[in-house]
Structure 1
């Protein structure tokens, strides 16, 4: 696997404001969504007829999902709320395809399972999955709904907080969630003197940072702002990492060969053109600038 900085409390407030904004978008786009050529609900390849089933990781964290809603089985945020960038984008796509909110179901799927080969329990999956050629051999990806920069999070007062270059990160012990492009970035470009520690979840990596077991974690930039605002009291963004190679992008994940991807891409094209994507990014992902690591 993202400006004006806001605290964790303000993040929740911004999410509440977005409910009003996305509700308004629903009034203006639902009719248009049903008009996408070749994409009537009855023609879509869905797990359950007439219902759009969306997969997400659990916990589902802000700013990608809502701020403080907890409804079983969701541990942190409830995607049904429509709050948070990815939840809001998913519902905006659903409206473009003609689905009422009551016809959208969410299902828990671990991040690393989303792009494995095989039959899927979702129509599409949305939890900061970056496109890569290797992953695309097993699943299909939609067009981008977000272009990504990675960032390094450390703790204030620690030596890593003074680093201003990629080379300066090499002596430090870094942690990362398993199966992420953040891990690939560490191995391919940072190349630290010791192998990064890998954790099953980002939450576990954050806890290791808090416990002093690692010096820093690598995550996408919006997640870095959430970690420093809410999860790690003395957390600091050491810096934003430069793009290396092809620009990283998040896409929805589909079972290989599912023609639903074509209709979702058409919906995303509309949302980029009519400004919905940019508006939702301003609502949920706007932050103060982070220093650039060279």
Structure 2
């Protein structure tokens, strides 16, 4: 589970990042100026990419970018799951790390219709048909797991298996993938249903429930920011949720090449290795059977 020190460090990093970025615009000092025309770059698969800056691959992330997706709000280090995935995709496309330029966007503007000043964007974007009307997606680089969040000192926080949660009241939002996973894993008698995730978080903070189930990305954020002394107990085996894809501008000439790069990284085991390194081992989220 996430340790107290990691949780506190994450909160501190979020606070510092927010202060540091408060006076900045929606993009970094290195923001590129979109090029009307440019020389396409030749990739390792001999596919010419049309990029906003000649010779560079401009990749966007959040403002701030949270752990464990980006460590220390600094994607240039390549540390954190999405930062590492971004550099792996860039390499597969034929770009050196020095040719990757990072910029920042909000989540909503990234998936809104209109021109973009970046080539790729990674911010835990779930692939949906509605979003496909405004932007392109690569194939999935990550499928969300379902996880349990509790509070330090609670008996549920010490659970090492699903059987250890038998006497715990576990909350979940109605109509979600998490609800289905919770009922299948724990049974209806142990699950308390709420209208939305906000109500579930409030119930845990108020001591009305012992833990709650949400997707792993949400669990990272809740345990670090929303829940007082929050911890991630573990994740469910085989319970999958949304698929995350890399966002590209609508109609991008690069979508097929980026999808091919992601598919290659999935097939050769790179994505699985990065997931283990940054989403399991680095933050100690065991699988509960």
Answer whether TM exceeds 0.5 for this pair.
yes
Cα deviation digits, residues 79-116 of structure 1 (max 9, x gap): 11111111011011111112122221111111222222
Confirm or deny that 1:234 pairs with 2:243: no
- Which segments of 5 or more consecutive residues in structure 2 lack a partner in the other structure? 10-41, 158-163, 183-190
C-alpha RMSD of matched pairs (Å)? 4.2
Aligned 8 A contact 2:279 2:285 in 1: no
Q: Which runs of 5+ in 1 are unaligned?
A: 13-32, 70-76, 175-181, 200-204
Residue in 2 that maps onto 1:265 = 259
How far apart, CA to CA, are the structure 1 residues paired with 2:115 and 2:50?
13
2:57 aligns with one of 35, 38, 52: 52
Partner of residue 285, structure 1: 279
1:235 Cα deviation after fit: 1.7
Matched, 1:196 2:193: no
1:109 maps onto 2:109 in alignment: no
SS of aligned partner of 1:258: coil
- Per the alignment, residue 62 of structure 1 pairs with 67
Pick the structure with more strand per residue: 2
Question: What do residues 228-263 of structure 1 show as CA deviations (whole Å, max 9, x unaligned)?
Answer: 47986732336646888x852111011111021111
Aligned counterparts of 1:270 and 1:241: Cα–Cα separation in 2 = 27
1:221 to 212, 216, 219: 216
Give the structure 1 partner of residue 83 of structure 2: 87
Cα distance between partner residues in 2 of 1:261 and 1:267: 10
Aligned 1:159-170 pairs, distance under 5 A: 168-169=170-171
Q: 1:188 offset after TM fit, Å?
A: 9.2
Alpha-carbon offset, residue 59 of structure 1: 1.8
Deviation (angstroms), 1:220? 3.3
Q: Does 1:126 align with 2:122?
A: yes
Partner-residue secondary structure (3-state), 1:148: strand
Distance of 2:205 and 2:241 partners within structure 1: 33
Q: What is the deviation of 1:166?
A: 12
Query: Structure 2 length normalisation: TM-score?
Result: 0.64
Number of equivalent positions: 238
